[in-house]
Amino acid sequence: MKRKDLHLYSQYKHLQGLQHKPTMATFQRLDHDAAIHFDKDASTETKDYLTISEDRLKELKYPEWAPTWEKKHDHQFDHIPVFKHIDRGFYGDSEFKSLKDADGVTFKHVSPKLGLEVDGIQLSDLSDKQKDDLALLVETYGVVAFRNQDFKNQSFEEIKDWGRYFGPLHIHPTSGAPLNQPEFHLTFTKGSISEQKKLFKTKLNNISWHSDVAYENQPPGITAFAMLQSGPSGGDTQFLDMFEIYDRLSPLMKSILDGLRALNTSRDQANDAIASGSIQRKNPIDSIHPVVRYHPVLKRKCLFVNRGFTRQILGLKTEESDYLLSFLFDHIQSCLDAHVRLSWDENTVVVWDNRRVLHTRTTDWDTDEIRHAFRVTTVAERPVSTKEEYESWTPELEKSNININDFVISLGPEEYYEKFYT
């Protein structure tokens, strides 16, 4: 028996104002955001903003990119309103001629199915046609490392204009950003033996596979991450191919997962910000996303859950949801033959498809080097389960669905089954 579409219940619009608190799964949440949150122990505070300490500011090669948390931004931004996303990958050339035909360009596969390293192309100089090919290239290979880039030397406005070609820019609710530039997300980590001991005092590893801000109603698509400052080795970023993760499952398991929907939430991230004494640029958000997501450009399905933000499979009892999510998370964590690891230098920009891959940082250095980088994140389509759902989606329908989110999340397993399956 198939699940009924949520929009069949748009008569529940009057429930928009409900403040139901969703039931959170009981499995352990790993903190993958330690490098982006405000740190009381190594900070400077003015009347207008929080930032890193004076000693650490002096060590930055790009001080204009110092992470700040502006007090005037506290709860001053809204989540991006519903919009119809036009993926630039639809307009790309599957042979990538505009990129490959340039003089001196080299393409190197990182693995047969996932990952590419490219040299000889400047992201800052791409034409619109090349950007379309770039979008399709990144979606086709999941993640692409561009070497020898001048991207970070462009102005804030030039980088933002580059990103807006692929979609509206996401403003992160809790991470550091350059002063007066909330559209950027910054990571900043300084290594030391004491920091390593502190990090691993209560856990065995700091690996946490996640899809960035998957709690948004329309999460990111094309994401560019540029290194500003790094050491000679260590701090790699690892990526997992969620197409492959899904394809490895048995046909019966796929049939069980297809059509299921899960609660994704930013509440834990928001609570971490509060606990650190930092700001929240936006109110917390709960979104309902398919467990298995359809990629409209590549016309393939991938698993779309992650330990960072996925909390509950709707319609299941707590123990059932926890058990199934734990199985999926363990499958993700152990499937390292569907993974690549990309190393950094200070002239590398990595661009990935946030719909298709999960990623995790690697905390493997205990020397005194700084890892300082920025991310520009573009918002994509609302996650859907099927081609038919993608083609029938409209902003008006989505607004109706958002209006009943609280109601749907509040339903018990029997009520959910009656509403959507019978």
Per-residue pLDDT of the chain (422 residues; tens, 9 = 90+): 455 555 444 434 333 343 444 444 444 444 444 466 667 666 889 999 999 999 999 999 999 999 999 999 999 999 999 999 999 999 999 999 999 998 899 999 999 999 999 999 999 999 999 999 999 999 999 999 999 999 999 999 999 999 999 999 999 999 999 999 999 999 998 877 777 788 888 889 888 999 999 999 999 999 999 999 998 888 999 999 999 999 999 999 999 999 999 999 999 999 999 988 899 999 999 999 999 999 999 999 999 999 999 999 999 999 999 999 999 999 999 999 999 999 999 999 999 999 999 999 998 888 888 999 999 999 999 999 999 999 999 999 999 999 999 999 999 999 999 999 99
DSSP code, position 421: T
Residue whose token pair is 């152990």: 334
Which pair of structure tokens corresponds to residue 359? Answer: 């990623």
| pLDDT tens digits, one per residue of 165-211 | 999 999 999 999 999 999 999 999 887 777 778 888 888 988 899 99
Largest distance between two CA atoms of the chain: 63
Helix H or strand E encompassing 119: strand 116-119
User: Would you say 413 and 314 are in contact if contact means Cβ atoms under 8 Å apart?
Assistant: no
The pLDDT assigned to 195 comes to: 76
**Residue 74 and residue 339: Cα distance in Å, rounded?**
37
**Residue 169 and residue 230: Cα distance in Å, rounded?**
25
Rounded (to 5) percent helix, strand, coil in the chain: 35, 20, 45
User: Would you say 218 and 66 are in contact if contact means Cβ atoms under 8 Å apart?
Assistant: no
Q: 35 CB contacts (<8 Å, ≥6 apart)?
A: 187, 188, 189, 361, 371
Average pLDDT over the chain reads: 91
Sheet order of strands, 310-313 included: 286-290, 261-265, 310-313
Closest CA to 190 of 372, 375, 373: 372
3-state secondary structure of 13: helix
3-state secondary structure of 197: helix
Closest CA to 300 of 339, 262, 355, 341: 355
**Residue 80 and residue 217: Cα distance in Å, rounded?**
8
**Residue 353 and residue 38: Cα distance in Å, rounded?**
27
In the chain, what are the domains?
A: 43-421 (3.60.130.10)
Closest CA to 59 of 232, 279, 231: 231
Q: Hey, which residues does 106 pair with through a beta bridge?
A: 119
First to last CA, the chain: 7
Task: Please tell me the pTM assigned to this model.
Answer: 0.92
3-state secondary structure of 44: strand
Which pair of structure tokens corresponds to residue 334? Answer: 């152990």
The pLDDT assigned to 174 comes to: 95
Residue whose token pair is 């990595």: 350
* Count of alpha carbons within 13 angstroms of residue 181, beta-carbon side: 21
**Residue 354 and residue 138: Cα distance in Å, rounded?**
10
The pLDDT assigned to 2 comes to: 54
Closest CA to 308 of 193, 191, 213, 406: 213
The pLDDT assigned to 29 comes to: 46
**Residue 180 and residue 70: Cα distance in Å, rounded?**
8
Q: 289 CB contacts (<8 Å, ≥6 apart)?
A: 214, 219, 261, 262, 264, 304, 383
User: Would you say 223 and 212 are in contact if contact means Cβ atoms under 8 Å apart?
Assistant: yes
The pLDDT assigned to 3 comes to: 56
CA distance to 147, 165, 195, 354, 380, per residue, from 129 (Å): 21, 11, 45, 22, 19
User: Would you say 358 and 219 are in contact if contact means Cβ atoms under 8 Å apart?
Assistant: no
Which pair of structure tokens corresponds to residue 387? Answer: 């081609």
Q: Hey, which residues does 119 pair with through a beta bridge?
A: 106
Q: 420 CB contacts (<8 Å, ≥6 apart)?
A: 3, 4, 6, 315
